[in-house]
Amino acid sequence: MNRFPMWKIIVVLLVCAFGVIYTLPNFVSKSSLSGLPDWLPTKQLNLGLDLQGGSHLLLQVDAGAVKLKMMESLVDAVRDSLRQQGDNVGYRDLKHDSNVISFTLRDPADEAKARERLADLSNIMPNGQRDVVISFDEGGLVTLTPSEAAITARLSAAVDQSIEIVRRRVDETGVNEPNIQRQGQDRILVQLPGVDDPDRVKRLLGETAQLTFHLVDLTADLGAAGRVPPGSKRLPAIEEDGRSYVVKNRVMVSGENLEDAQATYQQGQPVVSIRFDGLGAKQFGRATSENVGKPFAIVLDNKVVSAPRINEPILGGSAVITGGFDVAGAQDLALLLRAGALPAPLDILEERSVGPDLGADSIAAGEIAGIIGIVAVAIFMIAYYGLFGVFANISLAINIFLIMAVLSVLGATLTLPGIAGIVLTIGMAVDANVLIFERIREEIRVGKTPLNAVESGFNRAFTTIIDANVTTALAAVILFVMGTGPIKGFAVTLLIGILSSMFTAILLTRMLVEFWLQRKRPKALEI
């Protein structure tokens, strides 16, 4: 007689218990789950944008801004390289356009010295090319041209950094399970399930949040047509009331050294309290110590938030930003500063909103499709295979519990394609059982006893089951690797369904059949 080893029985029962226990939280409200003990499973499936509603945004990193920032950084590097204490290389007309940086040596005889100074600005990239091509003309004209590979690498790094900053900003808003991923060379897809204020999210993602501190140039003419001295620039006030400030180009302290930012109150007005890290605290302390009595401009995205006068040195590394904020404005600014500054502006290329009613309709349609699929398969199996069809249906039910349990434990986000993958798995789940039962029928036709027919049926169908499921799994893996978003969701549910259906067909169904054989000991099988 066939014997099902005790260790296999224990494994099968434990796996089935896992499936049932970890699926149950999905049928309980979140408020009820919060009152349960910590040791009980409480994870639920997260519903995607198309099921619970929310916002879909397609953002594009401003490649022009990335390139401009790269050129400006390179200009600063050229200036620093040529200016060394006690041994400067004379030059004039240092400028840049969108592609080339150029300047002219005052003395063409300094070419060798300039070559040596600028050599560190041109590095070999992994592809073997130079990131900056430097050329010297006979008349003393020097040009530096960043390579396309270097520009592409800088843009790619900016996109990666932007994704991380966007993720931090979205996480600060409390959105549950956002989907943030790269699309193409310079685009970012942001899906925010359950967002009820998409305009606020757009504002948060659209702000670059570049925070810098500058000294106000007191020598400048503040008139709108006044001349801006060299080394300074005119910036508008953030309140857009027509005021402007002339500030020095030099950044005294950068927001990159910011450690924390919190919305708070000062004299009953909302303000933003900031705290710098060690390096930022030293820079801020030195800047305020050396410029007591002078106005210090706080600049956010090239707009002056405020320009308070430095009354005394600020050595603790903390400061307060005031600017006539309301409570929501102070909270949003603090959020932006905590998350960090974007390396370049983000443009919104596409925006879609999905209402909760549409999501509810999708869930209802998915439930109807799943119920119809389960009932149709169950009826067919019982009508065609009798008692063995009942065993297959029990395995099918456990299979669905296992899929839901694994998705819940992984914290997966269920979307419409994911529901389609589950519905497809329902039909595929009994495929292995059909192969086994048909093989058992063939063994009975050649005259084998019920016990031998069942043993041969399971053993000989095993290879066919493995082959069929491996080929489907390979297709699912390709969909997961090559696809994005909804395609990956379909592939994940399909892969989990394949694994769970193989477990239930090969182990659970066999255990049920053999238990029945040992109990009834039939002389013939009706299958």
Summarised one tens digit per residue, pLDDT across range 268-310 is 888 888 888 888 888 888 888 998 888 888 888 888 888 888 8
Q: What is the pLDDT of residue 196?
A: 67
On whether residue 180 sits in a domain, the answer given is no
Say yes or no: 92 and 148 in one domain. yes
Summarised one tens digit per residue, pLDDT across range 385-433 is 989 999 999 999 999 999 999 988 887 777 778 878 887 887 777 888 8
On whether residue 131 sits in a domain, the answer given is yes
Say yes or no: 468 and 505 in one domain. yes
Say yes or no: 275 and 315 in one domain. yes
Average pLDDT over residues 164-169: 85
Smallest Cα–Cα separation from 421: which of 413, 409, 411?
A: 413
- The residue segments making up the domain with residue 235 are 207-351
On whether residue 187 sits in a domain, the answer given is no
pTM of full prediction above 0.85? no
Summarised one tens digit per residue, pLDDT across range 108-134 is 888 888 888 888 888 888 878 888 899
On whether residue 436 sits in a domain, the answer given is yes
> Residue 1: pLDDT band by 50, 70, 90 thresholds?
very low
430-463 core/surface letters (b: 16 or more CB in 10 A; e: else): bebbbbbbebbeebbeeebebbebbbbbbeebbe
Say yes or no: 360 and 506 in one domain. yes
Say yes or no: 279 and 228 in one domain. yes
Say yes or no: 392 and 513 in one domain. yes
Q: What is the pLDDT of residue 361?
A: 76
Say yes or no: 339 and 256 in one domain. yes
On whether residue 159 sits in a domain, the answer given is no
Residue 475, domain CATH: 1.20.1640.10
Summarised one tens digit per residue, pLDDT across range 201-258 is 888 787 787 888 899 988 876 655 567 887 788 898 887 677 888 998 888 888 877 8
On whether residue 179 sits in a domain, the answer given is no
Say yes or no: 369 and 515 in one domain. yes
Say yes or no: 452 and 394 in one domain. yes
Say yes or no: 14 and 74 in one domain. no
Number of domains in the chain: 3
Say yes or no: 343 and 316 in one domain. yes
> 299 by DSSP, 3-state: which?
strand
Q: What is the pLDDT of residue 102?
A: 92
Annotate 444-488 with three-state secondary structure.
Answer: HHCCCCHHHHHHHHHHHHHHHHHHHHHHHHHHHHHHHHHCCCHHH
Enumerate long-range contacts of 142-149, CB under 8 Å, 24 or more apart. Answer: 142/91, 142/102, 142/103, 142/104, 142/105, 142/114, 142/118, 143/100, 143/101, 143/102, 144/74, 144/78, 144/100, 144/101, 144/102, 144/118, 145/99, 145/100, 145/101, 146/70, 146/71, 146/74, 146/99, 149/125
Contact predicate 468/442, CB 8 Å: no
Residue 138, domain CATH: 3.90.1070
Q: What is the pLDDT of residue 519?
A: 86
Looking at 351, 384, 401, the residue that finishes a domain is 351
Residue 353 has pLDDT above 80, yes or no: no
Annotate 21-60 with three-state secondary structure.
Answer: HHHHHHHCCHHHHHCCCCCCCCCCCEECHHHHCEEEEEEE
